[in-house]
Amino acid sequence: MPVHGEYRHLAQHARLAASTGVPRERILICEDGDVVELADGEASRAGQVQAGMVMVDGLGIGDVGDAVLRDRRKLGGEGSCTWWSPSESQTGKVLAGGHRHPRLRLRAGVRRPDRGGQARVLDALERTAADGVNDP
């Protein structure tokens, strides 16, 4: 009874077993939720129970909500963009120099980064600082 992988893997494991001489009627491919009964040296399907995906997320099991999963699917397909910028707390002015410089980080995106993106973000930050916005 193949038990590892997606259905296509299970089918390949079954073909491998058959190629080594295991009779086809003794090969059982099951899916999640199938109940297998072992009796008198034989295995057979004996029903099904409800089974599904269980998400494991850092601190817990199954505690990921639908909204979080939807966001993760979207990020997985579209990627994410993060802007990190140290600023002066009194004026909101962007700090640069040494290890303190603005960074634009793109993750899992399918497009090439826009070369002018960082400059536009810096311009917007300078305008907001000039307008007196200094909330980090």
Stated pTM of the model: 0.40
Nearest to 3 by CA among 20, 22, 27, 24: 27
State how far Cα 4 lies from the chain centre: 21
Tens-place pLDDT, residues 44-68: 989 999 887 666 666 666 666 777 7
35 backbone dihedrals φ, ψ, rounded to 5°? -95, 130
**pLDDT at residue 47 in the model:** 92
Nearest to 83 by CA among 103, 100, 101, 111: 103
Yes or no: say if 50 and 33 are a contact pair by the CB < 8 Å rule.
yes
Is it the case that residue 23 has pLDDT exceeding 90? yes
Tens-place pLDDT, residues 55-111: 666 666 666 677 777 777 777 777 777 777 777 777 777 777 655 666 776 665 555
Structure tokens at 78: 């579209």
Helix (H) or strand (E) holding 10: helix 7-19
Residue showing tokens 């259905």:
7
Residue showing tokens 């899992």:
108
Structure tokens at 10: 């299970």
